[in-house]
Every structure is written in structure tokens, then in C-alpha cells.
Structure 1
């Protein structure tokens, strides 16, 4: 387990995480501040206002500040656009995926052969030209500048309008997982998975992802079949269920009862069942329940 310390002027949270933490609860404002604190930390630009008031933001793992340059931060959402991402700008997920793909050892022989051919072309052209020319060495980074990217499936390329909701989310997770497994460039992968519905397929993919250096904060309304320690809740209180001592202390301080740890685990399970029961609301039955 690791401790993530996320702190800014609006929020201060310590989250205990192994690989995935589901952030539940109806306190949309605190969830917003939590997200903004992490975004601010990784944002390279400091506004004049924050400079003037001396605003600081902290993001630590086990009390050590996270190195921004060596950390992969990405937000997985249902608004992901394959069309925009395929333009391969500096923030493009496809660009990072292709850069990792081209750097693979399987392609090194082909890349070396390509460089030999480029060098041969340079020599041949120079023999018959007034101006000497020299071609750049072909590297994985250069290849990403030469490529036109498309997402292909079933021998035709698709964009976000051709994929299902689940497929669009899993596509992003697949690219991130490939980078995490095949690239040693990054010390940590910090992911926001901020989507309205966690399907079984999406949950399975999150669980299957590499757990080496990868930490997922999943913002959702409900969850299914999740271990208690992988859940924290933003309501009028912030409770991280992995921190048993804190939960035990707060509940016993606020109650006239004396709860055991077993009592508290049962209470949390019932709370989570209640959350799950609200996921698919029967509007007609709810309306009819008000009949008098």
C-alpha cells in the first residue's frame, strides 16, 4: 500500500492505495477540488494570481514529492476523441503509445536497416549535387512525426463515433497499459478514470492493468464487488476505508454506541449495498410509491 498526499488551498487528502481507489460519495465540490489539486500540480503554467498569493500545491507518494517530469498523468473519460488524439500533439495518448511501440526491441533491426538505407541515399544524392545533403537519423521519436495515425479494427479505421462506450474507455486503458509495461521512462502512472458508469468489462480491464507504478483514482457513483479497502467516500466527511483506525475513531467519537471493527465493516458493506441499489432507479415504481 502507498499513501498519496494531495493538498492545495481547497483540500487536503491522504489516500491509501494499492493499485485502484474508487472515490465515491455525493460531495461533488470536494471531488472537484481533489481533481483540480492534482491537475494544478502537473500543470506547468503558474497563473499570476497564484504567484501573487503564494498558492502551493503538493502531491506526494509516501511523503516524497512526485517528480512531475517522470510521471505519466492522464484522465480517462468518455469524451476521448480518437480524431483529435490522432493529430499526435504533445498531450496525445496515441503519440505516447506509438513512441513506446516504435522503441520496442522487436523493431530495432528494421530501424537500423532503415538508417543504413537513408545513409546510402544521402551518399548517392551527394555525389550528383552542388549542395551536400545530410538526412537525420531515423529514431522512434522521428517516426512519430512522419506517421498518420488511425485506429483500425476489422480492417477498417474507426473513430469515437464507431466505438461503444465500453470500447472507447478500454481503448484508452489498453494504450496506457502498453506504455506502463513496455516503457521505463516513467516512475509513476497517475490515472483519473472519471466516467459515469463502470461496466464489468471496464472493471476487469482496470483490474488486469499492470500494477507496477500504476495508480488509478476512479470517480464513480457506485461500484460492484470491490474490496472495502479500495474505496474512499466524499460526503460531509472524507473517509478512506483502508484507514481502519481513522474510520473506527470517527464513528465511535460521533456515536453513543461502541462499535467493534467487525461492526464497522458490516456497516460499510450495508452502506455500499445501498449505493448499488440506487444505480438503476425504477422511475415508474418510485412515482407510484408517492400515491396516497
Structure 2
């Protein structure tokens, strides 16, 4: 029966004024607590709460912990399972005093529908480059998943961020094909020092997780989903969105967020890339136009 007022609730006298016992006198009630615990095999708080309905025992939490520790069924059900050991971070993730994107990982994501004509729609893909040290990201647009298109994307990335020392990737056909093409173009070039396709190998599937490429890609995809929605953009508009999203993702804090105002602001990848947290680009006001694309 539900009562609107708390003072109208019917409570037993034993619950209102439980009998107080000290720790030296309450050991005889240990068997009674064990019988209460064996009903549901609850935790320390459940066992202590049931006992305090009738007896107010000083140090009941300590006795409840003793009962739960001695309970064979609770120890069997609450045993600690074996955990997978986390592999050590590669040397590329711990390289101090190195410029951004010296050690880089890349991957594809998408596709995205774009307008290439009046009534024609094509699929374009996104290519994400992430720095293994600063966790900064760089996004590029790829027309398709071919090796030659990836080489074009790679040239644009080199022109903006510079040439990295090592690029980590999975075993995608465009990455393997680009490695073969570069090997043909440059004779005597050691491909192991440039493109390393050991991300998703069968013997070590967990190694690709060390680059945290999945988390960076997911952050960019969520931001693009919120920015684009269900719209169909042109290739240049999609490229603009990619640049804006990469700038926004690079504004996220890395490391510990300071709680004291005297500690200053947080550190983000843009602090290393630009020397400041954001580019502070003004977004208006713009002049009115009758173009429906700009509405």
C-alpha cells in the first residue's frame, strides 16, 4: 500500500529501534547473518542491511565482509577471470622530440555520395592520416579505392604535412598496390622503412589497435554525420567539410584536463600543429544571396 506521507508508513518497531550490540557481543549472531546471506548471496551492503533491520551491530560491515569472504558460492561466482595482456606500445608511439606526422597511420572510411553533374551521383571516400605521437588527424578525399588514387592522396598529404618516416596501414589492396608502384618507381628503395602493412595480419590482429585508428576514425565520422547529415555535396564542398572536421577534431584535449584555473588551458593537437588551440577563423556575417545552395 502506497502512502503519500512518509509519517503514515507502517514500520515495524524492530526496524525503528533495532537492538544495539557491540562488536564483542555480536559474534554469536554470526550464524544468523550467514543464514540471511545464503538466501540471496548478496553483497556486503545487502547482508548488513538485512541484519540492521533487527540488530544495530557496531562493525556490521566488517562481519558482513567476513561472511562474504567465507562463502564458498560467492567466491566461486565472483572469481576473477583471466584478462588479455595488453601489448607494449610500439616505439613509434613513444618518440619524443619529433615533428608531427613523422610516424603516421592511415586508413580509408566512407563512402560518401557527391554530385558530379546535374543528375549524376558518385561515391567518394575519406582517407584519414593520424599522428602516432600527437594524435593529430588529417583528412583527404579519394575518388575511389585504387592504388593510383591513393598515391595522389599521398602526394597531397606530403605537400601539407611533410614526408613521414613510417606509415602504418592495414593490408588493403590500395596500400599494397601503392607499395608495389612506389617500389617500381624508385629502384633500390627499401619499402620496409616507408610503408609497413602489418596492421591486420593474421598472427597479430591486436597490433592495429595500438595506433587507436578506430577511435580517431569514429570521431571524424560522427562529426561528419552531424555536419553533412543526409545532404549530397559536391566534391569541393566535401573537401571543405573534411578540412573543417579535421580542425575540430584536433581541438580535442589530450592528456589530463586541468582542474585548477592556475594550471592554464588543456593541451590539444592544434597547439602542436598551429601553436594555438584553434585557427579562430571568422564564420560571418555573410551577405544575403538568392542562391538556394547557400540558404
Which category of TM-score, normalised to the shorter sequence, fits these structures?
under 0.3
Q: Which has the higher contact order (CA 8 A, sep 6+)?
A: 1
Bigger-Rg structure (1/2): 2
TM-score by length of structure 2 reads 0.21
